[in-house]
Amino acid sequence: NLDFHPSGRHFLQIPGPSPVPDRILRAMSLPTIDHRGPEFGALGLTLLAKLKQVFKTEGPVIIYPASGTGAWEAALANTLSPGDRVLMFETGHFATLWHTMARRLQLDPEFIGLPGYEGWRHGVRADMIEARLREDPAHEIKAVCVVHNETSTGVTSDIAAVRRAIDAAGHPALLLVDTISGLASADYRHDEWGVDVTISGSQKGLMLPPGISFNAVSERAIEASHHNRMPKSFWAWDEILEANQNGYWPYTPSTNLLYGLNESLDMLLEEGLDQVLARHQRWAAGVRQAVAAWGLEIQCQDPAVYSPVLTGVVMPEGVDADAVRKLIYERFDLSLGTGLGKAKGKMFRIGHLGDCNDLTLIATLGGCEAGMKLAGVPLAGSGVGAALDYFAHHPLDAIR
Protein backbone atom coordinates (compact mmCIF):
# COMPACT_ATOMS: atom_id res chain seq x y z
CA ASN A 1 0.00 0.00 0.00
CA LEU A 2 1.85 3.07 -1.28
CA ASP A 3 -0.40 5.46 0.69
CA PHE A 4 0.80 4.08 4.01
CA HIS A 5 3.73 5.95 5.51
CA PRO A 6 4.66 4.59 8.93
CA SER A 7 6.12 7.04 11.43
CA GLY A 8 9.66 6.78 12.78
CA ARG A 9 12.60 5.06 11.14
CA HIS A 10 12.29 1.97 9.00
CA PHE A 11 14.23 -0.98 10.45
CA LEU A 12 16.45 -2.20 7.62
CA GLN A 13 17.70 -5.45 9.11
CA ILE A 14 18.35 -7.40 5.93
CA PRO A 15 21.92 -8.65 5.47
CA GLY A 16 22.69 -5.82 3.10
CA PRO A 17 22.08 -3.20 2.00
CA SER A 18 22.70 -2.24 5.61
CA PRO A 19 21.71 1.10 7.18
CA VAL A 20 23.88 3.99 5.95
CA PRO A 21 25.22 6.15 8.81
CA ASP A 22 24.37 9.87 8.73
CA ARG A 23 28.07 10.69 8.56
CA ILE A 24 28.34 8.82 5.24
CA LEU A 25 25.09 10.29 3.89
CA ARG A 26 26.41 13.77 4.64
CA ALA A 27 29.74 13.06 2.96
CA MET A 28 27.92 11.85 -0.15
CA SER A 29 25.76 14.96 -0.28
CA LEU A 30 28.70 17.20 -1.24
CA PRO A 31 28.78 18.57 -4.79
CA THR A 32 30.08 16.26 -7.50
CA ILE A 33 33.51 17.41 -8.68
CA ASP A 34 35.53 17.10 -11.89
CA HIS A 35 36.75 13.51 -11.95
CA ARG A 36 39.80 14.56 -13.98
CA GLY A 37 40.73 17.47 -11.69
CA PRO A 38 43.46 17.61 -9.03
CA GLU A 39 41.07 17.43 -6.07
CA PHE A 40 39.69 14.14 -7.37
CA GLY A 41 43.15 12.63 -7.93
CA ALA A 42 44.06 13.37 -4.31
CA LEU A 43 40.84 11.76 -3.10
CA GLY A 44 41.45 8.69 -5.29
CA LEU A 45 44.97 8.16 -3.99
CA THR A 46 43.86 8.58 -0.38
CA LEU A 47 40.99 6.15 -0.54
CA LEU A 48 42.83 3.51 -2.57
CA ALA A 49 45.54 3.50 0.11
CA LYS A 50 43.05 3.24 2.98
CA LEU A 51 41.08 0.52 1.20
CA LYS A 52 44.09 -1.82 1.30
CA GLN A 53 43.97 -1.78 5.09
CA VAL A 54 40.43 -3.12 5.11
CA PHE A 55 41.22 -5.93 2.64
CA LYS A 56 44.49 -6.52 4.53
CA THR A 57 46.57 -6.41 1.39
CA GLU A 58 49.66 -4.62 0.13
CA GLY A 59 48.46 -5.09 -3.44
CA PRO A 60 45.98 -3.06 -5.47
CA VAL A 61 42.22 -2.96 -4.94
CA ILE A 62 40.17 -2.15 -8.03
CA ILE A 63 36.88 -0.29 -7.66
CA TYR A 64 34.01 -0.71 -10.13
CA PRO A 65 30.89 1.43 -10.50
CA ALA A 66 28.80 -1.76 -10.31
CA SER A 67 27.06 -3.97 -7.78
CA GLY A 68 28.85 -7.04 -6.42
CA THR A 69 27.73 -9.16 -9.37
CA GLY A 70 29.85 -6.97 -11.65
CA ALA A 71 32.93 -7.60 -9.50
CA TRP A 72 32.22 -11.37 -9.68
CA GLU A 73 32.25 -11.11 -13.47
CA ALA A 74 35.40 -8.97 -13.41
CA ALA A 75 37.24 -11.58 -11.32
CA LEU A 76 36.37 -14.38 -13.77
CA ALA A 77 36.84 -12.29 -16.93
CA ASN A 78 40.31 -11.10 -15.95
CA THR A 79 41.81 -14.40 -14.87
CA LEU A 80 40.22 -17.16 -16.98
CA SER A 81 39.70 -18.18 -20.60
CA PRO A 82 36.64 -19.71 -22.28
CA GLY A 83 36.50 -23.45 -21.60
CA ASP A 84 38.64 -23.24 -18.45
CA ARG A 85 37.61 -25.62 -15.70
CA VAL A 86 36.88 -23.95 -12.35
CA LEU A 87 36.11 -25.65 -9.06
CA MET A 88 33.26 -24.05 -7.10
CA PHE A 89 31.75 -25.11 -3.77
CA GLU A 90 28.00 -25.05 -3.13
CA THR A 91 27.41 -23.22 0.13
CA GLY A 92 24.12 -21.57 -0.76
CA HIS A 93 22.31 -19.27 -3.15
CA PHE A 94 25.19 -16.89 -3.88
CA ALA A 95 27.64 -19.71 -4.60
CA THR A 96 24.96 -21.09 -6.96
CA LEU A 97 24.52 -17.75 -8.75
CA TRP A 98 28.27 -17.41 -9.21
CA HIS A 99 28.35 -20.93 -10.65
CA THR A 100 25.59 -19.97 -13.12
CA MET A 101 27.56 -16.90 -14.12
CA ALA A 102 30.67 -19.02 -14.78
CA ARG A 103 28.63 -21.21 -17.14
CA ARG A 104 27.24 -18.18 -18.94
CA LEU A 105 30.78 -16.90 -19.44
CA GLN A 106 31.54 -20.22 -21.16
CA LEU A 107 33.78 -21.49 -18.40
CA ASP A 108 33.48 -25.13 -17.39
CA PRO A 109 32.53 -24.90 -13.72
CA GLU A 110 32.43 -27.99 -11.54
CA PHE A 111 30.16 -27.61 -8.52
CA ILE A 112 31.04 -29.77 -5.53
CA GLY A 113 29.49 -29.75 -2.08
CA LEU A 114 27.78 -31.72 0.64
CA PRO A 115 24.74 -33.72 -0.50
CA GLY A 116 21.29 -32.15 -0.77
CA TYR A 117 20.53 -29.32 1.63
CA GLU A 118 23.50 -30.12 3.93
CA GLY A 119 25.78 -27.80 1.98
CA TRP A 120 23.42 -24.95 2.78
CA ARG A 121 23.95 -25.50 6.51
CA HIS A 122 27.74 -25.86 6.60
CA GLY A 123 30.80 -24.04 5.29
CA VAL A 124 33.22 -25.06 2.56
CA ARG A 125 34.91 -28.42 3.19
CA ALA A 126 38.57 -27.77 2.41
CA ASP A 127 39.31 -31.52 2.48
CA MET A 128 36.90 -32.07 -0.42
CA ILE A 129 38.65 -29.34 -2.39
CA GLU A 130 42.02 -30.90 -1.67
CA ALA A 131 40.79 -34.37 -2.71
CA ARG A 132 39.39 -33.02 -6.00
CA LEU A 133 42.58 -31.10 -6.80
CA ARG A 134 44.66 -34.24 -6.15
CA GLU A 135 42.60 -35.95 -8.88
CA ASP A 136 43.74 -33.28 -11.34
CA PRO A 137 47.42 -34.01 -12.04
CA ALA A 138 47.18 -32.28 -15.44
CA HIS A 139 46.11 -29.05 -13.68
CA GLU A 140 43.04 -28.55 -15.82
CA ILE A 141 41.36 -26.72 -12.94
CA LYS A 142 42.42 -23.10 -13.28
CA ALA A 143 40.66 -21.58 -10.29
CA VAL A 144 38.93 -22.45 -7.02
CA CYS A 145 35.98 -20.14 -6.27
CA VAL A 146 34.41 -19.94 -2.81
CA VAL A 147 32.09 -17.63 -0.90
CA HIS A 148 33.51 -16.43 2.42
CA ASN A 149 30.25 -15.29 4.05
CA GLU A 150 27.28 -17.03 2.41
CA THR A 151 24.62 -14.36 2.83
CA SER A 152 21.77 -16.72 1.98
CA THR A 153 22.47 -18.99 4.97
CA GLY A 154 24.56 -17.14 7.58
CA VAL A 155 27.49 -19.53 7.27
CA THR A 156 31.11 -18.49 6.85
CA SER A 157 33.94 -20.54 5.38
CA ASP A 158 37.52 -21.00 6.49
CA ILE A 159 39.45 -19.40 3.62
CA ALA A 160 42.89 -20.06 5.17
CA ALA A 161 41.98 -23.77 5.18
CA VAL A 162 41.06 -23.60 1.48
CA ARG A 163 44.46 -22.06 0.70
CA ARG A 164 46.18 -24.79 2.75
CA ALA A 165 44.19 -27.42 0.82
CA ILE A 166 45.29 -26.00 -2.55
CA ASP A 167 48.91 -25.90 -1.38
CA ALA A 168 48.74 -29.39 0.14
CA ALA A 169 47.56 -30.73 -3.21
CA GLY A 170 50.49 -28.93 -4.87
CA HIS A 171 48.00 -27.37 -7.28
CA PRO A 172 48.55 -24.05 -9.11
CA ALA A 173 44.83 -23.06 -9.30
CA LEU A 174 44.06 -19.45 -8.46
CA LEU A 175 41.93 -18.80 -5.36
CA LEU A 176 38.96 -16.47 -5.97
CA VAL A 177 36.92 -15.47 -2.91
CA ASP A 178 33.60 -13.64 -2.64
CA THR A 179 33.49 -11.64 0.60
CA ILE A 180 30.79 -9.29 -0.62
CA SER A 181 28.98 -9.59 2.69
CA GLY A 182 31.99 -10.45 4.87
CA LEU A 183 34.35 -7.53 4.42
CA ALA A 184 34.54 -5.17 7.38
CA SER A 185 32.19 -7.34 9.47
CA ALA A 186 33.88 -10.77 9.47
CA ASP A 187 37.61 -11.41 9.77
CA TYR A 188 39.18 -11.31 6.31
CA ARG A 189 42.86 -11.28 5.25
CA HIS A 190 43.60 -11.16 1.52
CA ASP A 191 47.40 -11.42 1.71
CA GLU A 192 47.80 -13.68 4.72
CA TRP A 193 45.30 -16.20 3.33
CA GLY A 194 46.94 -16.22 -0.09
CA VAL A 195 43.82 -15.13 -1.97
CA ASP A 196 44.32 -14.22 -5.64
CA VAL A 197 41.13 -12.24 -6.21
CA THR A 198 38.89 -10.97 -3.42
CA ILE A 199 35.48 -9.75 -4.52
CA SER A 200 33.50 -7.37 -2.34
CA GLY A 201 30.71 -4.81 -2.43
CA SER A 202 29.75 -1.51 -0.86
CA GLN A 203 26.34 -2.15 0.68
CA LYS A 204 27.19 -4.46 3.57
CA GLY A 205 30.02 -4.00 6.11
CA LEU A 206 31.21 -0.82 4.42
CA MET A 207 27.80 0.71 5.24
CA LEU A 208 27.46 2.43 1.85
CA PRO A 209 24.55 2.38 -0.54
CA PRO A 210 24.79 -0.28 -3.27
CA GLY A 211 26.66 0.71 -6.42
CA ILE A 212 30.38 0.11 -6.09
CA SER A 213 32.28 -3.14 -5.83
CA PHE A 214 35.84 -4.36 -5.58
CA ASN A 215 38.53 -6.76 -6.77
CA ALA A 216 41.62 -7.03 -4.57
CA VAL A 217 44.21 -8.73 -6.75
CA SER A 218 47.41 -10.70 -6.19
CA GLU A 219 50.46 -10.57 -8.47
CA ARG A 220 49.57 -14.01 -9.81
CA ALA A 221 46.09 -12.82 -10.67
CA ILE A 222 47.48 -9.79 -12.51
CA GLU A 223 49.90 -12.05 -14.33
CA ALA A 224 46.99 -14.29 -15.38
CA SER A 225 45.11 -11.22 -16.66
CA HIS A 226 47.93 -10.51 -19.12
CA HIS A 227 47.46 -13.86 -20.86
CA ASN A 228 43.82 -14.87 -20.43
CA ARG A 229 41.48 -14.95 -23.42
CA MET A 230 38.08 -13.99 -22.01
CA PRO A 231 36.77 -10.93 -23.91
CA LYS A 232 36.63 -7.95 -21.53
CA SER A 233 36.71 -4.21 -21.82
CA PHE A 234 34.76 -2.41 -19.07
CA TRP A 235 36.09 -4.91 -16.51
CA ALA A 236 39.72 -5.01 -17.71
CA TRP A 237 42.08 -4.46 -14.80
CA ASP A 238 45.08 -3.08 -16.72
CA GLU A 239 43.61 0.29 -17.76
CA ILE A 240 42.12 0.84 -14.32
CA LEU A 241 45.37 -0.02 -12.53
CA GLU A 242 47.24 2.39 -14.76
CA ALA A 243 44.83 5.29 -14.19
CA ASN A 244 44.73 4.49 -10.44
CA GLN A 245 48.46 5.23 -10.22
CA ASN A 246 47.43 8.91 -10.13
CA GLY A 247 44.13 8.44 -8.32
CA TYR A 248 41.96 8.45 -11.46
CA TRP A 249 39.78 6.00 -13.40
CA PRO A 250 39.69 5.37 -17.18
CA TYR A 251 35.95 6.14 -17.20
CA THR A 252 33.66 8.20 -14.99
CA PRO A 253 33.77 6.82 -11.45
CA SER A 254 30.89 6.99 -8.94
CA THR A 255 32.19 10.23 -7.46
CA ASN A 256 29.69 10.64 -4.63
CA LEU A 257 29.85 6.99 -3.61
CA LEU A 258 33.61 7.43 -3.42
CA TYR A 259 33.08 10.37 -1.01
CA GLY A 260 31.01 7.94 1.02
CA LEU A 261 33.69 5.24 0.78
CA ASN A 262 36.34 7.67 2.00
CA GLU A 263 34.16 8.48 5.02
CA SER A 264 33.36 4.82 5.65
CA LEU A 265 37.05 3.91 5.63
CA ASP A 266 37.76 6.73 8.11
CA MET A 267 35.00 5.47 10.39
CA LEU A 268 36.22 1.86 10.28
CA LEU A 269 39.88 2.74 10.74
CA GLU A 270 39.17 5.26 13.53
CA GLU A 271 37.23 2.61 15.42
CA GLY A 272 39.84 -0.03 14.60
CA LEU A 273 39.07 -3.14 12.54
CA ASP A 274 39.53 -5.47 15.50
CA GLN A 275 36.91 -3.55 17.42
CA VAL A 276 34.55 -3.58 14.41
CA LEU A 277 34.88 -7.36 14.14
CA ALA A 278 34.42 -7.88 17.90
CA ARG A 279 31.26 -5.76 17.80
CA HIS A 280 29.81 -7.98 15.06
CA GLN A 281 30.73 -11.20 16.87
CA ARG A 282 29.03 -9.93 19.99
CA TRP A 283 25.82 -8.94 18.20
CA ALA A 284 25.70 -12.30 16.45
CA ALA A 285 26.13 -14.10 19.78
CA GLY A 286 23.28 -12.04 21.30
CA VAL A 287 20.98 -12.79 18.37
CA ARG A 288 21.77 -16.51 18.64
CA GLN A 289 20.83 -16.37 22.33
CA ALA A 290 17.47 -15.01 21.23
CA VAL A 291 16.93 -17.76 18.67
CA ALA A 292 17.85 -20.40 21.26
CA ALA A 293 15.38 -18.89 23.78
CA TRP A 294 12.63 -18.99 21.15
CA GLY A 295 13.41 -22.69 20.83
CA LEU A 296 14.11 -22.32 17.12
CA GLU A 297 16.94 -23.62 14.97
CA ILE A 298 19.72 -21.62 13.38
CA GLN A 299 20.35 -22.36 9.70
CA CYS A 300 24.10 -22.80 10.28
CA GLN A 301 24.75 -26.17 11.91
CA ASP A 302 28.43 -25.68 12.66
CA PRO A 303 29.12 -23.28 15.56
CA ALA A 304 32.72 -22.83 14.34
CA VAL A 305 31.45 -20.98 11.26
CA TYR A 306 28.44 -19.03 12.54
CA SER A 307 28.30 -15.78 10.59
CA PRO A 308 28.95 -12.58 12.56
CA VAL A 309 26.98 -10.71 9.85
CA LEU A 310 23.58 -12.39 9.80
CA THR A 311 21.64 -15.25 11.37
CA GLY A 312 19.27 -17.54 9.50
CA VAL A 313 16.26 -18.43 11.67
CA VAL A 314 14.59 -21.70 10.64
CA MET A 315 10.82 -21.85 10.99
CA PRO A 316 9.12 -24.98 12.38
CA GLU A 317 7.86 -27.50 9.81
CA GLY A 318 4.69 -26.23 8.14
CA VAL A 319 5.28 -22.51 8.83
CA ASP A 320 5.86 -20.35 5.74
CA ALA A 321 8.79 -18.12 6.71
CA ASP A 322 7.88 -15.60 4.01
CA ALA A 323 4.37 -15.16 5.40
CA VAL A 324 5.89 -14.44 8.84
CA ARG A 325 8.35 -12.00 7.29
CA LYS A 326 5.58 -10.21 5.42
CA LEU A 327 3.50 -9.86 8.58
CA ILE A 328 6.52 -8.44 10.46
CA TYR A 329 7.16 -5.96 7.64
CA GLU A 330 3.57 -4.80 7.51
CA ARG A 331 3.01 -4.56 11.26
CA PHE A 332 6.37 -3.29 12.47
CA ASP A 333 8.02 -1.66 9.45
CA LEU A 334 10.92 -4.07 9.87
CA SER A 335 12.65 -5.62 6.85
CA LEU A 336 14.17 -9.07 7.31
CA GLY A 337 15.96 -11.15 4.69
CA THR A 338 13.91 -13.69 2.76
CA GLY A 339 14.90 -17.33 2.31
CA LEU A 340 16.64 -17.65 -1.06
CA GLY A 341 16.83 -20.60 -3.46
CA LYS A 342 16.63 -23.93 -1.63
CA ALA A 343 15.93 -22.07 1.65
CA LYS A 344 12.86 -20.27 0.27
CA GLY A 345 9.97 -20.36 2.74
CA LYS A 346 12.02 -22.29 5.29
CA MET A 347 13.80 -19.48 7.09
CA PHE A 348 14.24 -15.74 7.40
CA ARG A 349 17.49 -13.89 7.91
CA ILE A 350 18.29 -11.24 10.51
CA GLY A 351 21.06 -8.88 9.44
CA HIS A 352 23.23 -7.61 12.31
CA LEU A 353 25.88 -5.66 10.51
CA GLY A 354 27.27 -2.19 10.09
CA ASP A 355 25.54 0.77 11.67
CA CYS A 356 23.58 -1.08 14.39
CA ASN A 357 23.67 -1.02 18.17
CA ASP A 358 22.35 -3.18 21.00
CA LEU A 359 19.04 -1.36 21.08
CA THR A 360 18.36 -1.47 17.33
CA LEU A 361 18.98 -5.21 17.53
CA ILE A 362 16.74 -5.57 20.59
CA ALA A 363 14.01 -3.73 18.68
CA THR A 364 14.60 -5.99 15.68
CA LEU A 365 14.30 -9.07 17.86
CA GLY A 366 11.17 -7.52 19.42
CA GLY A 367 9.63 -7.21 15.95
CA CYS A 368 10.55 -10.81 15.16
CA GLU A 369 9.17 -12.10 18.45
CA ALA A 370 5.89 -10.18 18.28
CA GLY A 371 5.44 -11.06 14.61
CA MET A 372 6.06 -14.76 15.16
CA LYS A 373 3.55 -14.77 18.04
CA LEU A 374 0.96 -13.08 15.83
CA ALA A 375 1.66 -15.62 13.09
CA GLY A 376 1.08 -18.45 15.57
CA VAL A 377 4.66 -19.72 15.60
CA PRO A 378 5.10 -21.62 18.88
CA LEU A 379 7.96 -20.03 20.88
CA ALA A 380 9.63 -21.61 23.93
CA GLY A 381 10.43 -18.30 25.62
CA SER A 382 11.48 -14.69 25.14
CA GLY A 383 14.35 -14.15 22.74
CA VAL A 384 14.30 -10.44 23.49
CA GLY A 385 14.86 -11.12 27.18
CA ALA A 386 17.68 -13.54 26.43
CA ALA A 387 19.44 -11.08 24.11
CA LEU A 388 19.00 -8.21 26.60
CA ASP A 389 20.63 -10.36 29.28
CA TYR A 390 23.44 -11.35 26.96
CA PHE A 391 24.19 -7.78 25.91
CA ALA A 392 23.99 -6.54 29.52
CA HIS A 393 26.44 -9.16 30.75
CA HIS A 394 28.83 -9.04 27.82
CA PRO A 395 29.92 -5.43 27.40
CA LEU A 396 32.08 -4.89 24.34
CA ASP A 397 35.08 -3.88 26.46
CA ALA A 398 35.06 -7.23 28.18
CA ILE A 399 35.57 -9.17 24.96
CA ARG A 400 38.29 -6.97 23.48
Binding residues for ligand PLP, per CB under 6 A? 16, 67-69, 94, 147, 151, 178, 180-181, 201, 210
DSSP 306: B
CB of 242 to ligand PLP, least distance (A): 26
How remote is the C-alpha of 275 from its chain's centroid? 18
CB of 204 to ligand PLP, least distance (A): 7
Choice between 60 and 209, CB closer to ligand PLP: 209
Order of strands, sheet of 174-178, starting from the edge strand that comes earlier in the sequence: 61-64, 213-217, 197-201, 174-178, 141-147, 85-89, 108-112
Choice between 14 and 169, CB closer to ligand PLP: 14
CB of 42 to ligand PLP, least distance (A): 28
Nearest residue to ligand PLP, scored by beta-carbon proximity = 68
Q: Quickly count: other Cβ atoms within 10 Å of residue 40's Cβ.
A: 20
Choice between 79 and 185, CB closer to ligand PLP: 185
Choice between 212 and 298, CB closer to ligand PLP: 212
CA gap 336, 356 in Å, rounded: 14
Closest CA to 51 of 183, 179, 229: 183
Choice between 16 and 260, CB closer to ligand PLP: 16
CB of 176 to ligand PLP, least distance (A): 12
CB of 17 to ligand PLP, least distance (A): 9
CB of 233 to ligand PLP, least distance (A): 20
CA angle 186, 189, 192 (to 5 degrees): 150
Choice between 54 and 169, CB closer to ligand PLP: 54
Closest CA to 98 of 111, 83, 116: 111
- Please report, for residues 28, 177, 213, 328, the alpha-carbon distance to residue 225 in angstroms, rounded to integers and kept in the order given: 33, 17, 19, 47
CB of 270 to ligand PLP, least distance (A): 26
Choice between 70 and 371, CB closer to ligand PLP: 70
Choice between 201 and 312, CB closer to ligand PLP: 201
CA gap 357, 336 in Å, rounded: 17
How remote is the C-alpha of 106 from its chain's centroid? 25
CB of 258 to ligand PLP, least distance (A): 17
Q: E-assigned strands of the chain?
A: 11-12, 61-64, 85-89, 108-112, 141-147, 149-150, 155-156, 174-178, 197-201, 213-217, 297-298, 310-314, 334-335, 347-351
Note whether 119 and 128 are within 8 A (CB).
Answer: no
Note whether 278 and 398 are within 8 A (CB).
Answer: no
